[in-house]
Structures are given as C-alpha cells and as structure tokens.
Structure 1
C-alpha cells in the first residue's frame, strides 16, 4: 500500500513539485567480461523496458536531477556524468503507457493531468564501475538489470534513440578525451584497456598501435605488479594518473582511433 500512496502522491501533487513537461533520462554504461553493458528498467504492467529517468524538482538543477536518478538506480555517488542531447519530438511522450499503468495501480487519472502532457527530456550518459553497482527499481518498474549493447530489446517511447545517441556521443568522445577511469578497476592490464576501447568502438584495434598511442597521452602509470592467475606470461598492471587524466578530460587531446 505504501507504493500505491507514493505513486498516487506523484500523480496528484507532481504538478506542484516538478518542472512541468521536463524530465531527464539516463543511459548508464558499465564494462564487464570485456563487454559494454547498459542498465535498463523492466516496466510494470507491460513487457517493455526503459532507461532510468525522472522528473526535475522546481528548485533543482538539471545535473542534480540526473545525479539523483543515477544514485537511486546504482547506489553510487562518484559518477562520471555528461549531458549529451535533448529530445523533444511532440509525440515522444506515451500517454497510453501512463494511463494503463495508473489503471493497473487502481489510480484514476484525469486527461489533463500533468503526467499526460508533452515532455521534453534531457539525456545524460554515465560511466560506472559495474562491480560496484547495486541495481534498484523505481515505483513503476519490477526489475533493473544489465544488458549487453548487442542484445538491447525494443525500449519504450524513444529510449532506443536516446541510447543510440548516447553511444554515438561516447564514441566521438573517445577520439579526443580519455575513457576508462570510471569503467575499469583501479588496476588493469593494457589488454583489458584495449578491450574496453574495442567494446565502445565496436571494432578491433591493432595492439601495438593502441599501446603506443595510449602511452603517448601520458594518462597511465605502469605499476611494478603483474596480473596474477594467468596461464601465459603475466602482463603488467597499470593505473590512471588521475591528475593527468582530469587534465585530458578538460583540455582534450588529438588523435583518434
């Protein structure tokens, strides 16, 4: 009953709490078993999946709203977060979805209710450490789990478009900014870093060229340790030089993959 009261409160009082017709949708990327994955919600009362999202409080900054959504879905506080696009097609909001969901919850919703109006959403993508995420559902979902990028189902509304735009933006970013600090463990091997880049770009990279270019950027520290428990010659471990990594994030670098 507490869940119903929570949803009912949002339906009834949301217009006074949230910015009208504005929402945020978050594409949460993680890296696991040499594969890029995205965190999706399984919606209640339907077979559809969707991206984690939410509304913006009237006294809340957009970035703060996106950060709040991410923390609620992952349990993480230190998150790489980037706004990448705005989606505002007039018919992108799905009135039928909300009407059906509220009916299933036993809540009567007026046709002029704020939830049924046009919504413009601001897209954010986040890079998170897969191993530290504790996926959590929201009021209108029954599951929250990771999907391989090659196995993403058809999503609700325009969420496939939002996901594809986020991936495209990340692929562009990787050509002039570093990626990896938020996706890899603190210590990693050069092959593991290369696998991450290949998973993002969806293509194979030459091993020697990759190592040469990534070392030129000066964002890595080679450690004296080697990876344990491998069958062949153990590769050296690396970590990111956080100061130089952040400088490269701010100033960018030239190159491309």
Structure 2
C-alpha cells in the first residue's frame, strides 16, 4: 500500500485521542434529478464501499464530531444534522475478514476493540452545494442513488435503511424540503422529492393545494423555461414561516 506511515499515524491518533469502541456513521442525503441520493466512500485500491464516518475525540462532543466528518466529506459547515439511531449489535461485522478485504493491516497487531458501537446521523444537504471529498483511506467519494446502492461494508446498508425509515417518519416535523431542495424550485420538483422519500405517488392537485396552503412558500416572478410543457412558476421557501410551522407542528400535509 502507498500510505502505511499515514495509516499508522492515524491508528495511533485513534488509540490515544479518541473514545475507545465508539464511532459514528453519517448518511448524507441529497436530492438531484428526481432521485434521492446518498454520499458513499470507496476504500483505497478496493471495490469496497461504505458510509462516511469516524471516531470521536475525547475532547469533543458527538455532535461536533459528526459535524467535522460532514464538513470533511462535503465542504459544508451549516448542515441539518440529526442523530437517529444507535447501532450496537454484539457482532456488527467480521473484523478480520473486513480488514483483509480492504487490503489493510489489522491495527495495533489486531488489538482493535472487541466491539464498536456506532451512532447514526443523517444529514440533509443541497446537492448542488456539495463538493464530495475523499480522504486518505479512500479513492472516491461519490453520490449513489438510494434505490441502486453497491454492496456495502459492515452494517452500512442497514444504517441507510434505518435512516430512510426515520426520514419518512419525521417528514412532517423536520425541514426536509428546506434542506434538500435548491434555492428555487417548482411545485412538481417539491412533489417529486416527497414522493421519492415516501416511495409512493401523490396526487398533484391535492399536493399543490396543501403545500401552498401552509404559507411556507413564496411564488417568484420567474418561470422555468425550456420544457416541453407549460413553464411552471418557481418558488422558494419563506424560512421564517417554515420555522414557525416546524415549531407549531403545522407541516402535516402528506
């Protein structure tokens, strides 16, 4: 491998400065081209894929650690970030098999903690603002469609499934649209986002009536041009009203 010194230094830092046996994994959702996507890493010189994640320094909070990991992978700072589940099965993966498949030496002569508990976070980001960035352990950091994921290491497929289930349950009291949509969008764009998250179709007329009735959108004096059909108006979120609706629980419309 071409990074043994850096890898050894990383392991040493983890052993000395991080909380033993505790990690975090981040499911970073983005919405683009009517598809819900998640950011994945491909391990260096392998075809093995996993979620962005890492360990928690002893002197930082778990939320700060998650924010640090997300910034390193996306280049963004002010992200919507939600802790959603603790993954603590007694056997989450075969450690020896995993490290061999990744073509990496077992750390510290195989003295990695007997088990690692991982805190799951999900983040909602504007796809257009993200700069996917790999780290020294990986060759790629790319968007993959939630419905067409590669084989994943560890229990990361389960983590994504639980994150998506949580997102669906929280659809009416978390700022899903505000964080996943670009600054300007059409009502059909927003409907496709909710349909993608829910995994089912919504009646267009009913959706339009309910979403506009919430007073969280501002219609702009602009239309989307270039399509084959009538050019729809562009909208943007009224962030003040959106936040009030979140506090008051007035976002139930699907």
Fold shared, TM-score > 0.5 on shorter chain:
yes
**Which sections of structure 1, spanning at least 5 residues, go unmatched?**
none
Q: Distance in 1 between matches of 2:191 and 2:207?
A: 7
* Alignment correspondent of 1:57: 57
RMSD: 2.1
Contact preservation (8 Å) 1:93, 1:119: no
| Residue 223 in structure 1 maps to residue 215 in structure 2 | no
* Alignment correspondent of 1:157: 154
Tell me the alpha carbon deviations over residues 136-187 of structure 1, each in whole angstroms, 9 at most, x when there is no partner: 1123221111111111122111101100000001111113444212211111
Tell me the alpha carbon deviations over residues 198-257 of structure 1, each in whole angstroms, 9 at most, x when there is no partner: 111111100111011112222111112211223322111110011122223334226352
Q: Check 1:233–1:99 CA distance in 2 against 1; reply closer, same or farther (3 A cut).
A: closer
| Residue 204 in structure 1 maps to residue 223 in structure 2 | no
SS of residue paired to 1:180: helix
Equivalent pairs, count? 254
Which residue, 160, 172, 184 being the options, matches 2:169? 172
- Please list, as runs of the form range in 1=range in 2, the aligned pairs for 1:51-90 lying within 5 A after superposition: 51-90=51-90
* Alignment correspondent of 1:232: 229
Which residue, 125, 129, 132 being the options, matches 1:132? 129
SS of residue paired to 2:179: coil
Contact preservation (8 Å) 2:245, 2:251: no
Of residues 142-151 and 247-256 in structure 1, the stretch that sits farther from structure 2 once superposed is 247-256
Q: Check 1:171–1:30 CA distance in 2 against 1; reply closer, same or farther (3 A cut).
A: same
Deviation at 1:2, TM superposition (A): 8.6
Q: Distance in 2 between matches of 1:161 and 1:106?
A: 26
Given the two structures, how large is their TM-score scaled by the length of structure 2? 0.92
SS of residue paired to 1:85: strand
Which residue, 180, 185, 204 being the options, matches 2:182? 185
Q: Check 1:216–1:186 CA distance in 2 against 1; reply closer, same or farther (3 A cut).
A: same
Q: Distance in 2 between matches of 1:254 and 1:182?
A: 15
SS of residue paired to 2:110: coil
Contact preservation (8 Å) 2:96, 2:106: no
SS of residue paired to 1:12: helix
Given the two structures, how large is their TM-score scaled by the length of structure 1? 0.91
Q: Distance in 2 between matches of 1:205 and 1:106?
A: 50
Tell me the alpha carbon deviations over residues 98-140 of structure 1, each in whole angstroms, 9 at most, x when there is no partner: 64378x456763232xx34311100000111111211111232
Q: Distance in 1 between matches of 2:81 and 2:216?
A: 20
Q: Check 1:5–1:173 CA distance in 2 against 1; reply closer, same or farther (3 A cut).
A: same
Q: Distance in 2 between matches of 1:107 and 1:8?
A: 10
Q: Distance in 1 between matches of 2:145 and 2:99?
A: 31
SS of residue paired to 2:4: helix
Q: Distance in 1 between matches of 2:62 and 2:107?
A: 30
Contact preservation (8 Å) 1:93, 1:118: no
